[in-house]
């Protein structure tokens, strides 16, 4: 990619800049953001540069709630955990779970596996650089739709019940790690859906009966160290297009959650996992649970690794979702239209990363 030299004036840069050409060059490289760093780039290319108003770094000392779910086997302990999950889901849209039963070595190996994938020879990743593949290497799936590119690369694996991934398709460098982690986090997801069901005042199996966690997506994000972190973001402000997201992050940090118009730094906890409410759960809970804006800041120190695990419901065959009847009344009418995921996801993927589409499904009051 051609980068303007430091000797060019801003006027010359404006005249010479061709965004479409720069996007195409980045895409054609099939090497992602790490490829830029490997090539010796010392300045952030213009396709990544965001306006100054996006860099409100004012943060609060508040922390997202931490929920210890080890006590759920006892009735008193379970009631306490359910109440903590309810408050976090209503007021924050985010919480961290600890003592969740996934061994620390499984979490550490998952982080290392994602790192190994992204730091292997670039030619080994290029064969997977294809947005049509269900298992692929990508950088900015919305590259040509968004106003600004994100400073990150991603290993994406769609795990659809109707079209399961053959384990042999998973790159050998992280295959056993992903298989093991997926089994553990899927079981945790079932437990979390039980707690969330009870937090909504429903039977414990309600959300699992709706198959909110049947189809899943695993993302292995790699945020290279950025030479000018004040100019770009690892991930711009967005909501997750999921019922539920379980996030494993390394100890570097960088995730921020918007709470009462202030950015809250999500401090990594050894062995902890971040849980956040997706827009689909907000819709079927009829706005009782909130999906909230979050972002990832860039950093100069070293690469950051994170592994979001999306629980996305039944994508194929078509299944209709909508506000849960038990949560709807004359005093609390439905806030959203019924929707199918085979309609929702193609629309989502055709737009920029920061378009949550909530308003499109909102009923007019």
What tens digit of pLDDT does each residue of 183-208 get? 999 999 999 999 999 999 999 999 99
Q: What is the dihedral of CA 153, 229, 250, 189, to 10 degrees?
A: -60
Distance CA 225, CA 193 (A): 35
Distance CA 101, CA 134 (A): 29
Q: Strand 304-313 to strand 215-223: parallel, antiparallel, or no bridges (unpaired)? A: antiparallel
This prediction's pTM: 0.93
Residue 120 φ then ψ, to 5°: -75, 175
* Region at 218 (left for phi over 0; alpha for psi -120 to 50; beta for the rest): beta
Which H or E run includes 128?
Answer: none
Residue 353 φ then ψ, to 5°: -55, -30
Distance CA 200, CA 85 (A): 10
Q: Tens-of-pLDDT digits for all 365 residues of the chain?
A: 444 433 443 434 445 679 999 999 999 999 999 999 999 999 999 999 999 888 865 677 899 999 999 989 878 899 999 999 999 999 999 999 999 999 999 999 999 999 999 999 999 999 999 989 999 999 999 999 999 999 999 999 999 888 888 999 999 999 999 999 999 999 999 999 999 999 999 999 999 999 999 999 999 999 999 999 999 999 999 999 999 999 999 999 999 999 998 999 999 999 999 999 999 999 999 999 999 999 999 999 999 999 999 999 999 887 899 999 999 999 999 999 999 998 888 888 787 776 667 888 999 76
Find, among 317, 248, 264, 363, the residue nearest to 62 by Cα: 264
- Residue 307 and residue 177 in contact, taking contact as beta carbons nearer than 8 Å: no
Distance CA 214, CA 202 (A): 19
Per residue in 99-153, pLDDT (tens digit) is 999 999 999 999 999 999 999 999 999 999 998 999 999 999 999 999 999 999 9
- Residue 83 and residue 258 in contact, taking contact as beta carbons nearer than 8 Å: no
Find, among 230, 233, 32, 231, the residue nearest to 151 by Cα: 233
- Residue 337 and residue 344 in contact, taking contact as beta carbons nearer than 8 Å: no
Which H or E run includes 223?
Answer: strand 215-223
Distance CA 233, CA 83 (A): 34
Find, among 155, 171, 161, 259, the residue nearest to 215 by Cα: 161
Residues facing 313 on adjacent strands: 215
Reduced to 3 states (helix: H, G, I; strand: E, B; else coil), residue 256 is strand
CA distances from 181 to 72, 222, 308, 325, 360 (A): 22, 18, 12, 34, 35
Distance CA 138, CA 124 (A): 13
Distance CA 230, CA 232 (A): 6
Q: Decide yes or no: CATH 2.60.120.330 for domain 53-361.
A: yes
**Pair of tokens at residue 116:** 């190994």
- Residue 50 and residue 233 in contact, taking contact as beta carbons nearer than 8 Å: yes
- Residue 167 and residue 179 in contact, taking contact as beta carbons nearer than 8 Å: yes
Question: DSSP state, 252?
Answer: T
Q: Strand 320-321 to strand 255-259: parallel, antiparallel, or no bridges (unpaired)? A: unpaired
- Spans of all domains in the chain: 53-361
């Amino acid at each position: 990619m051609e980068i303007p030299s430091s000797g060019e004036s801003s006027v010359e840069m404006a005249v010479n800049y061709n965004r479409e050409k720069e996007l195409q060059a980045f895409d054609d490289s099939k090497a992602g953001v790490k490829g830029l760093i490997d090539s010796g780039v010392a300045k952030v290319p213009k396709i990544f540069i965001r306006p100054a108003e996006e860099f409100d770094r004012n943060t609060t000392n508040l922390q997202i709630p931490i929920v210890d779910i080890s006590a759920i086997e006892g009735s008193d302990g379970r009631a306490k955990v359910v109440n903590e999950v309810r408050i976090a889901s209503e007021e924050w849209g985010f919480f961290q779970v600890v003592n969740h039963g996934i061994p620390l070595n499984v979490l550490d190996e998952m982080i290392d596996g994602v790192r190994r994938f992204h730091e292997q020879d670039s030619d080994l990743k290029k064969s997977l650089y294809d947005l049509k593949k269900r298992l692929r290497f990508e950088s900015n799936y919305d590259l040509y739709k968004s106003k600004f590119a994100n400073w990150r690369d991603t290993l994406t694996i769609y795990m659809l019940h109707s079209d399961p991934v053959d384990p042999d398709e998973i790159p050998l460098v992280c295959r056993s790690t992903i298989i093991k982690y997926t089994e553990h986090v899927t079981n945790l997801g079932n437990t979390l859906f039980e707690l969330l069901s009870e937090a909504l005042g429903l039977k414990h199996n309600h959300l699992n009966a709706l198959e909110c966690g049947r189809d899943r997506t695993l993302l292995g994000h790699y945020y290279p160290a950025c030479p000018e972190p004040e100019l770009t973001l690892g991930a711009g402000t967005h909501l997750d297009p999921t019922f539920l997201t379980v996030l494993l992050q390394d100890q570097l940090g960088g995730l921020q959650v918007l709470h009462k118009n202030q950015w809250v730094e999500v401090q990594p906890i050894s062995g902890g996992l971040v849980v956040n409410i997706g827009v689909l759960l907000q819709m079927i809970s009829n706005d009782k649970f909130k999906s909230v804006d979050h972002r990832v800041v860039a950093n100069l120190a070293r690469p950051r690794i994170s592994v979001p695990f999306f629980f996305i419901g039944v994508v194929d065959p078509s299944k209709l979702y909508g506000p849960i009847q038990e949560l709807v009344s004359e005093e609390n009418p439905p806030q959203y239209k019924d929707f199918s995921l085979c309609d929702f996801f193609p629309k989502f993927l055709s737009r920029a990363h920061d378009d949550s589409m909530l308003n499109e499904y909102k009923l007019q009051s």
